[in-house]
Amino acid sequence: MACTAVMIPGWLRGCAGAICTQAASWRSPPSAVRHLTLSSMMKSRRKTDHLERTADVVRREVVSAAKVCDTADESPSVKRLRLLVADKGFSFKAGQWVDFFIPGVSVVGGFSICSSPRLLEQDRMIDLAVKYTNHPPALWVHNQCALGSEVAVRVGGEFFFDPQPADASRNLVLIAGGVGINPLLSILRHSADLHRERADKGSGYEMGTVTLFYSAKNTSELLFKKNILDLVNEFPEKMACSLHVTKQTAQISAELKPYITEGRITEKELSDHISKETLFYICGPPPMTDFFSKELEDRHVPPEHICFEKWW
């Protein structure tokens, strides 16, 4: 990657002090980066490293400075971050992730964007939701990140929904497990923006229906419940959701009860939604992703209508 083609934040640019070795390693050839991530992989014995897992995936060239402007607990194990990305060269498609560079942390994080492209266009902000793990970038987000913290981000990924105005209208079925909701929430929000644009201007892409199937361990781990239900209630004819909990022990509140099914998402529920006009987006733990993509293939959904991303 040529330095001139990349926008480098100040703390990476100035090669003075402790940051120097880190900045140097980021600019070294991929083999060096691979070595760096391999050693952390061997420690954890799981292929959890973002750069290693996504080594062959397309990324954009632009690395942009970003500042943390809000944080909140989304669940007992998930922290939500809102980043301000002033750089106008930074853009993304609903469903994509960012490489997440942290000063002083040599391992690069990979986090899906859960906000809509519209929020970036209007307010220069993106939202990420990060689950607690022992991976250094996630540890940093949970233990050290604060308002005003400076990081850098670069967009990547081939899992996205970005229809052009003249494209054929499609229905979407989104299938999420756990934190796999993040990219799918971005797609859900983008679909809502497309509906609104079409309603306001009478032009733009014509969205079909969107159905979200979302499964988590229990109701406190069902992230963004309120945001999801608000969208579904705003577009009752266009959007629907089916929320599932697999290991609920506490009683489900009366408010949530009508929306929740106990037990996992079933093939039967899904098969009611199969049609030629439907695109399927699946993001969750690998066994769940494999199960549903195979199920859809067995039911003759063309592979180009099945998009999936495995999230470790």
Ligand X SMILES: *[C@@H]1O[C@H](CO)[C@@H](O)[C@H](O)[C@H]1NC(C)=O
* Interacting residue ranges for ligand X, rule: CB under 6 A: 76, 217-221, 248-250
The angle, 0 to 180 degrees and rounded to 10, between the axes of the packed helices 225-234 and 181-201 is: 30
Give the residue with the Cβ less far from ligand X, 190 or 225: 225
Q: Shortest distance, CB of residue 75 to ligand X, whole angstroms?
A: 8
Give the residue with the Cβ less far from ligand X, 40 or 246: 246
Contact 188, 181 (CB under 8 A): no
Q: What is the DSSP letter of 250?
A: S
Q: Among residues 148, 143, 124, which one has the least CA distance to residue 70?
A: 148
Reported as type and span, the H/E element at residue 126 is: strand 125-131
Q: Shortest distance, CB of residue 70 to ligand X, whole angstroms?
A: 24
Q: Shortest distance, CB of residue 248 to ligand X, whole angstroms?
A: 6
Give the residue with the Cβ less far from ligand X, 77 or 106: 77
Q: Shortest distance, CB of residue 246 to ligand X, whole angstroms?
A: 11
Per-residue tokens: 65: 């400075």
Give the residue with the Cβ less far from ligand X, 173 or 179: 179
Contact 174, 296 (CB under 8 A): no
Q: Shortest distance, CB of residue 72 to ligand X, whole angstroms?
A: 17
Give the residue with the Cβ less far from ligand X, 221 or 295: 221
Distances (CA, A) of 252 to 222, 224, 233, 256, 275: 12, 16, 20, 7, 33
